[in-house]
Amino acid sequence: MGPPSEFTVKSIDLETGELTVVMNREDAQVLGIRSLDRVKVTSGRKSMTAIVELTGTVVGRGELGLLVKGREMLGIGQGDRVRVTPVSRPVSIEIIKKRLNRMELSSEEIKILTEEITNHRLSDVELSAFVCSTYMNPLNNREIKDLTMAMVGSGETIEVDTQPIFDFHSIGGVPGNKVTLIVVPIVAAAGLHIPKTCSRAISSAGGTADILETVANVTLPGWKIKEICETVGGTIAWGGGVNIAPADDIIIRVEYPLSIDPYSQVIASVLAKKKAVGADHLLMDIPVGPNTKVPTMELGRRYARDFMDIGRQIGINVECAITYGGQPVGRNVGPALEVKEALKVLENDPPSTSTLEKATSLAGIILEMGGFTGDGKSEAMKILTSGRALDKFREIIEAQGTEYHDISSDMVELGKHTAVIESPSRGYVSSINNKDIVKIARAAGCPHDKFGGIVLEKKIGHQVDRGDELFTIYSSNEQKLTMAVQAARKLSPFTIEGMVLERIPGEKVIHTI
């Protein structure tokens, strides 16, 4: 660590994922600093470690460019004075190299790595190397448990006074999986407490947080989640909006552009956030099907075993439901579209049976975990058909903050630009490629365009004629819509087959008369 030097802050209106400062190239040369080196920036009692980028023009000699996040962390602005001290590279770099060499990490190494991730000591390049190492060579269960508990310790925890606490999570991978918006209000309406925290999309068209955010506030502080859970019975809040397992949110940020979700990271991420909210009982939804995160039953059962094993080690009773993931859940894919469909189910007017069937089955399992005797699914259906689940959903979003009073499905806005994709032939829908549906929805702007997405007009088993509508694409941006249509034509996510799949011609016999 070198001697500190004083600089005048120059505000730069730019947001990046990692903490970055911009330094004049000549100042950096004097201090012996190179691009991507780290410095400690101090203002009064506050400090942060940041990655250095160099320039010859953006900032002058004696100036330090601070981006939005850095200024917010230090509570300073244009013209303020800061001290800059060169710092050594993080210990975690050697730990990451060890992982890349397929070596097992000790509990202490995992703790150090998690602390340095939380304190923004690692660049996105270094974080990506760690993520890729776990993608290619998953952590073992002991490492996953240690990473889980280290991530819990990296942030705050929520202690809801009412016990026991129930929770629900889907590992995703199947588009249109909006069932959380139905499961949580059913469970809360039954009198159980479920402080559900959820994530934003990594590789999907919309995470649960992205979906609900179209109609309600999902960014809640920990005390608010606790308060709403104790008074209303449940929440559906973004985990990244509260300081729960912040190391996990930093890792998720670098997973997003790679569109990967490593096996061991999935388990650690979920269990860390569930442990942080004090969950006693957790139901995991594991969708299995082609072109999902879990393509085989064998992998689904492996996920179930590991979730249950590691959950037991950290004090959470985990049950798992392996669910059908062979095609999208319901008909709507994309944030606003999925809210609309979830509301239709809550209003007892479901556009398809798959969303209703899945949501009530999963809610029923949680009710049985909570001590309800008899058939939990039947009880969940009673709560739904009575209107209590819709009332509870409205109560939850009003407690979290919403512009909608007595929200209904017809209040949900959708993208103004649409395009219909038609069937190229007559036959039956034999398959729908989940990954291709997601690619098309993302091309339309999802998840950032909350009003974009896809409505499936046909599903597997449906008969179609040439020219029949297969699906409709929605977008708020005409250019994005064009890109989505191009993607749809290139990918052809629907497979249409007739009763005769292929003709194998034999020898021609010529009859003469």
**Does pLDDT of 2 surpass 60?**
no
Least confident of 115-119, 134-138, 252-256, 347-351: 252-256
pLDDT at 340 > cutoff 70: yes
Domain segments of the chain as ranges: 5-87, 92-137, 166-238+270-410, 417-497
Q: Which CATH superfamily is domain 417-497 in?
A: Pyrimidine nucleoside phosphorylase-like, C-terminal domain (3.90.1170.30)
- What is the architecture of the domain spanning 5-87? Beta Barrel (2.40)
Task: Using the predicted structure, report yes or no on whether residue 26 has a pLDDT greater than 90.
Answer: yes
Judge whether residue 325 has pLDDT over 90.
Answer: yes
Q: Look up 248 and say whether it is catalytic.
A: no
Measured in degrees and rounded to the nearest 5, phi and psi for residue 285 equal -95, 120
Q: Any idea what the Cα angle at residue 90 is, between residues 84 and 95, rounded to 5°? A: 175
Amino acid found at 428: Y
Q: Give the span between the Cα atoms of 92 and 130, in whole angstroms.
A: 10
Rounded to whole angstroms, the Cα distance separating 355 from 345 reads 8
Angle, CA of 505, 510 and 513, to the nearest 5°: 150
Per-residue confidence band for 509, with pLDDT thresholds at 50, 70 and 90: low
In words, the CATH class of domain 166-238+270-410 is alpha beta
Q: What is the pLDDT confidence band of residue 259, given thresholds at 50, 70 and 90?
A: confident
pTM equals 0.88
Dump pLDDT digits (tens) for 292-307: 999 999 999 999 999 9
Convert the pLDDT of each residue in 85-140 to its tens digit.
999 889 999 999 999 999 999 999 999 999 999 988 898 899 999 999 999 999 99
Question: For the segment 362-376, what is each residue's pLDDT rounded down to a tens digit?
Answer: 999 999 999 988 899
473 has pLDDT over 60: yes
Element (H, E) at 149: helix 141-153
How confident is the model over 410-415, as a mean pLDDT? 97
Of 64-68, 196-200, 298-302, 432-436, which gets the smallest average pLDDT? 196-200
Q: Which residue has the tokens 């009859």?
A: 511
Q: Which of 249, 261, 285, 306 is catalytic?
A: 261
Whether the Cβ atoms of residue 254 and residue 124 lie closer than 8 Å to each other: yes
User: How many alpha carbons lie under 13 Å from residue 346 in its C-beta half-sphere?
Assistant: 28
